[in-house]
């Protein structure tokens, strides 16, 4: 693989949160204006109105241990939603192909452990392939399983989509799983169907899994609806697992309810792993999830509000910081080269403009050639209401102009 351009090999020696690093970077600095926190991808839209009544109705469920795999009602609701949302090759079996999760982060982390238990030795040091930048849970899973983390750089010239064709057969032969994220965190790129199909076909050829992180699947910013991995996998779900949650879709990041769905063999082994390593999801919270997956009105309202915020970004930022409206998600991925490197920019924006943003290099890994695809970018989370978002965008647009 020498000279392949693959990033992050043998680089992931420690697991560190980008938010801990940001706190250290800004330690001792006071914000120059009233603080607006744009760093954490935590939706601050109103919760759906049905949440409290559903919990109240099912409050007695907190008095017992829930089934680890989820209630029949929850698994049926998740399977039904997937069937409505995507054009699947067939209906999912809720008893064998769906598993409740404590949000998708726990699921994405444990997935690498489950993959290693299923696949065992792979004829060399096992590998986990991720996009670069990537959600830290992917790397944490690779770390604890002793896998080589292979991070494929995502650059603007390719619409921030990694070049999956550069993966060699030698690497694929020892790969446990390929993580995909669409719409991408942080760039908002949506993987084309043909890309999904090619990645799935290669993974299957070499016996690897595809883990599709689709937490932002319901936030699309044009009329183009993102394709899901389960609808790009042909006649069956072999080797493909999708992960999703209600944090972004339904503005319920504190509910901690999500699911994994797909390959029956994986879901079975994954259930066994979670049975000894992960907490159950309380039944009243699963009832909230059932109501959420049965209602699209609140999702449409959320999507409309995000579009309005990106309309503001288009208007106020224009082309500054090489702003380009993403296809999905709720992040701006801005090139701040004019302000110095991304750490300098983050400190300046905090100290002078009261804006807390994440340096892009904190979300990515530096390759052996010294390149970090997140360097000189900042991630800006447009998760507040329109009034706060407009104020933040005005500060950004006028900053040192």
Q: pLDDT digits over 4-30, tens only?
A: 444 444 444 456 899 999 999 999 999
Segment 131-157 shows an average pLDDT of: 95
Among left, alpha and beta (phi > 0; psi -120 to 50; other), residue 159 is left
**Helices (H) then strands (E): counts for the chain:** 13, 12
Beta-sheet pairing, 209-213 with 240-245: parallel
C-alpha distances in Å from residue 390, one per residue of 334, 395, 396:
17, 9, 10
> What's the pLDDT at 14?
52
Give the tens place of pLDDT for each residue, 328-359.
Answer: 999 999 999 999 999 999 999 999 999 999 99
Segment 145-170 shows an average pLDDT of: 96
Q: Confirm if 218 and 249 have CB atoms less than 8 A apart.
A: yes
Give the tens place of pLDDT for each residue, 265-323.
Answer: 999 999 999 999 988 999 999 999 999 999 999 999 999 999 999 999 999 999 999 99
* Residues in contact with 100: Cβ distance below 8 Å, sequence separation at least 6, in sequence order: 69, 70, 71, 74, 75, 78, 257, 258, 259, 281, 286
CB atoms within 10 A of CB 305: 18
Among left, alpha and beta (phi > 0; psi -120 to 50; other), residue 5 is left
d(CA 275, CA 269): 10
> What's the pLDDT at 8?
41
> What's the pLDDT at 122?
84
What would the two tokens of residue 369 be? 């050639």
d(CA 170, CA 145): 20
Q: For the chain, list the domains and their CATH numbers.
A: 18-46+298-398 (3.90.1150.10), 62-295 (3.40.640.10)
What would the two tokens of residue 346 be? 């983050």
> What's the pLDDT at 5?
42
Q: Greater confidence, 319 or 2?
A: 319
d(CA 24, CA 47): 32
Instruction: Say if residue 368's pLDDT is above 90.
Output: no
What would the two tokens of residue 75 be? 């698994």
Instruction: Say if residue 130's pLDDT is above 90.
Output: yes
Q: What are phi and psi of 156, to 5 degrees?
A: -60, -35
Segment 237-251 shows an average pLDDT of: 97
Is cis: bond before 148, omega within 30 of 0? no
d(CA 327, CA 350): 27
Q: Confirm if 292 and 249 have CB atoms less than 8 A apart.
A: yes
Q: Where are the beta strands (DSSP E) in 193-293?
A: 209-213, 240-245, 258-262
CB atoms within 10 A of CB 28: 4
What would the two tokens of residue 345 be? 């920019």
pLDDT tier at 2, thresholds 50, 70, 90: very low
Segment 182-211 shows an average pLDDT of: 98
> What's the pLDDT at 16?
82
Q: Could you tell me the pTM of the whole model? A: 0.94
d(CA 379, CA 13): 24
Dihedral, CA of residue 23, residue 27, residue 33 and residue 38, to nearest 10 = -10
What would the two tokens of residue 144 be? 């604890």
Any idea what DSSP says for residue 7?
B
Count CA within 13 A, CB hemisphere, residue 77.
Answer: 21
Q: Which residues of 141-180 are buried (b: 16+ CB within 10 A; e: fewer)?
A: bbbebebbbbbbbbeeeebbbbebeebeeebbebbbbbbb
d(CA 9, CA 149): 6
Give the tens place of pLDDT for each residue, 85-123.
Answer: 999 999 999 999 999 999 999 999 999 999 999 998 888
Segment 62-75 shows an average pLDDT of: 95
d(CA 322, CA 156): 10
> What's the pLDDT at 10?
40
Beta-sheet pairing, 98-101 with 258-262: antiparallel
> What's the pLDDT at 171?
96
> What's the pLDDT at 15?
67
- % of the chain exceeding 90 in pLDDT: 91
Q: Confirm if 141 and 129 have CB atoms less than 8 A apart.
A: no
């Amino acid at each position: 693989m020498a000279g392949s351009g693959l990033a992050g090999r043998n680089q992931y020696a420690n697991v560190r949160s980008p938010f801990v690093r940001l706190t250290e970077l800004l330690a001792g600095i006071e914000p120059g204006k009233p603080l607006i926190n744009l760093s954490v991808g935590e939706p601050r839209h109103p919760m759906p109105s049905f949440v409290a009544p559903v919990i109240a109705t099912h409050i007695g469920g907190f008095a017992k241990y829930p089934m680890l795999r989820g209630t029949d009602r929850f698994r049926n609701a998740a399977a039904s939603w997937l069937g409505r949302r995507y054009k699947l090759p067939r209906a999912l079996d809720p008893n064998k192909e769906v598993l409740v999760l404590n949000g998708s982060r726990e699921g994405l982390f444990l997935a690498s452990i489950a993959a290693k238990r299923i696949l065992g030795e792979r004829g060399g040091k096992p590998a986990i392939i991720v996009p670069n930048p990537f959600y830290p849970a992917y790397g944490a899973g690779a770390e604890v399983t002793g896998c080589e983390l292979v991070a494929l750089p995502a650059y603007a010239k390719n619409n921030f989509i990694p070049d999956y064709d550069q993966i060699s057969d030698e690497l694929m032969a020892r790969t446990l799983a390929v993580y995909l994220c669409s719409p991408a965190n942080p760039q908002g790129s949506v993987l084309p169907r043909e890309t999904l199909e090619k990645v799935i076909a290669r993974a299957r050829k070499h016996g690897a899994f595809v883990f599709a992180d689709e937490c932002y699947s319901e936030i699309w910013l044009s009329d183009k609806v993102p394709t899901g991995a389960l609808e790009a996998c042909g006649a069956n779900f072999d080797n493909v697992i999708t992960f999703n949650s209600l944090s972004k879709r339904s503005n319920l990041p504190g509910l901690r309810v999500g699911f994994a769905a797909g390959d029956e063999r994986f879901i079975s082994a994954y259930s066994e792993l979670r049975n000894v390593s992960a907490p159950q999801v309380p039944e009243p919270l699963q009832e909230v999830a059932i109501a959420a997956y049965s209602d699209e009105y609140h999702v449409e309202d959320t999507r409309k509000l995000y579009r309005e915020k990106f309309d503001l970004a288009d208007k106020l930022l224009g082309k500054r910081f090489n702003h380009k409206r993403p296809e999905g998600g709720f992040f701006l991925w801005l090139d701040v080269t004019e302000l110095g490197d991304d750490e300098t920019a983050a400190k300046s924006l905090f100290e002078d403009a009261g804006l807390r943003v994440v340096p892009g290099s904190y979300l990515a890994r530096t390759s052996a050639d010294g390149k970090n695809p997140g360097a000189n970018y900042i991630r800006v989370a447009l998760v507040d209401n329109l009034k706060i978002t407009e104020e933040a965008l005005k500060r950004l647009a006028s900053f040192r102009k």
